[in-house]
Amino acid sequence: MLLWLAGLYIFFRWLLLALLPFLIALALAATVEPLVQRLRRRLRVRRSFAAAVITTLLLLTLGGGAALLLIRLAAELQAWSNRLPEAMAQFPQLWNSLLDRVDSWYVSCPVFLRSALDGMAQQLMTEGPSLAGAVSGWLMGAASSLLSALPAAGLFLVTTVLAVYFTSLSYPAILSFLKRQLPESWQKRCRSAAQCCRSTILKWMRAELLLILITFLLLLGGFTWMGLDFALLAAAFTALVDALPVLGVGAVLIPWAILSLLLGNTGQALALLALYAVTSLTHSLVEPRLLAGQADLPPITALLAMYLGFHFMGVGGMILFPVFLLLVKQLQDAGVIHLWK
């Protein structure tokens, strides 16, 4: 067991990122292998032809779906950019209105609160330039890192696409080669462990994608009901932020609601807060059930894994612990390990 844990640590620590294109290719090739075999039997064609056809259809489906979504988002971005000059022209009026509201609120505050606000304002005036410099430096560094990562991302994408083709063409030979590298006593156990890992990853990805889709549909429905012009763009961006481990829908909806409230748009602010409450409640109720349903576990077990992950590792542990629980459950069911009766 210790050797397994050491091997997993070495793999995830040093080898995962370097081998990720080929692991993705192996997973996709394993996914389409039944279709390749079926096409071979029905049309009586060579494996290379069947693998090339099925792999091309798979990549066209994935790429076409992503392209349609990007085209729609680009159209909304273009429409938003066309309205940007008008919004910038209204910015001074909105800024002055915001200052007036803050000033009236400041005057109506108690004396002790105004003194605290004065101290905060003085501290902000003192540390403002250094803070602005730090923020601008971070933004420049983030932009530079993004630009420098584009060639690597392009190489990663091209390598993955080519690896999918080559792996699908030689999938039986690759599996046979990997099998020959293992001792006879390990082959059955490693085969079961590999099947469990693949099943766990697929189940976790299915649950996460369903959760992202549910969040996106809730946001899209809420933004459409609110009458926003760029509901699809706003819903896609907020759902993407929610998918990140550290952030959530509150990182977008709460500042947006505060800004709307300060600008006097109380109705929009209340609608955004209500949408935040609905999405957060739905997220809390649905995520344990989705994870539990994929692994045939009671929802309380998935909830316990999420809580323990947050307690020991923070927000990232809320993702890692349920995945680890799914993997352990699959290995236990397959007889690879025996941790409980």
| Residue-averaged pLDDT of the chain | 75
* 29 belongs to a structural domain: yes
**Residue 45 confidence class, pLDDT cut points 50, 70, 90:** confident
In this structure, the answer to whether residues 326 and 210 fall within a common structural domain is yes
* 322 belongs to a structural domain: yes
In angstroms and rounded to an integer, the radius of gyration of the C-alpha atoms of the chain is 26
Which one is predicted more confidently, 213 or 136?
213
In this structure, the answer to whether residues 170 and 292 fall within a common structural domain is no
In this structure, the answer to whether residues 224 and 293 fall within a common structural domain is yes
CA distance 224 to 227: 5
Sequence-separated (6 or more) residues with CB below 8 Å from residue 303: 288
The burial of 278, by beta-carbon neighbours within 10 Å (0-12 exposed, 13-18 middle, 19 or more buried), is given as: middle
Report pTM: 0.55
In this structure, the answer to whether residues 259 and 290 fall within a common structural domain is yes
CA distance 85 to 81: 8
CA distance 220 to 278: 13
Please compute the mean of the pLDDT values over residues 154-173 and round it to a whole number.
86
129 residue type, one letter: P
Sequence-separated (6 or more) residues with CB below 8 Å from residue 178: none
Domain count, the chain: 2
In this structure, the answer to whether residues 203 and 219 fall within a common structural domain is yes
Between the alpha carbon of residue 35 and those of residues 28, 50, 101, 163, 196, the distances in Å are 12, 9, 64, 18, 21
Which of 181, 215, 243 is the last residue in one of the domains? 181
* 109 belongs to a structural domain: no
Which pLDDT score is estimated for 131?
64
Which pLDDT score is estimated for 22?
87
**Residue 188 confidence class, pLDDT cut points 50, 70, 90:** low
CA distance 297 to 34: 28
Which pLDDT score is estimated for 174?
86
DSSP class per residue in 147-184 = HHHHHHHHHHHHHHHHHHHHHHHTHHHHHHHHHHTS-H
Domain boundaries, position 40: 20-82+160-181
In this structure, the answer to whether residues 175 and 213 fall within a common structural domain is no
Which one is predicted more confidently, 82 or 13?
82
In this structure, the answer to whether residues 202 and 322 fall within a common structural domain is yes
Dig out the tokens for 300 from the structure. 């309380």
Sequence-separated (6 or more) residues with CB below 8 Å from residue 208: 243
**Residue 62 confidence class, pLDDT cut points 50, 70, 90:** confident
Lowest mean pLDDT among 248-257, 266-275, 292-301: 292-301
* 215 belongs to a structural domain: yes
In this structure, the answer to whether residues 174 and 26 fall within a common structural domain is yes
* 286 belongs to a structural domain: yes
In this structure, the answer to whether residues 288 and 176 fall within a common structural domain is no
In this structure, the answer to whether residues 209 and 283 fall within a common structural domain is yes
CA distance 171 to 163: 11
CA distance 256 to 275: 12
Lowest mean pLDDT among 66-75, 108-117, 153-162: 108-117
**Residue 273 confidence class, pLDDT cut points 50, 70, 90:** confident
Which pLDDT score is estimated for 240?
78
Tokens 């923020």 map to which residue? 135
In this structure, the answer to whether residues 244 and 281 fall within a common structural domain is yes
In this structure, the answer to whether residues 323 and 215 fall within a common structural domain is yes
- 62-84 burial, b for 16+ CB within 10 Å, e for fewer? eeeeeeeeeeeeeebeeeeeeee
* 219 belongs to a structural domain: yes
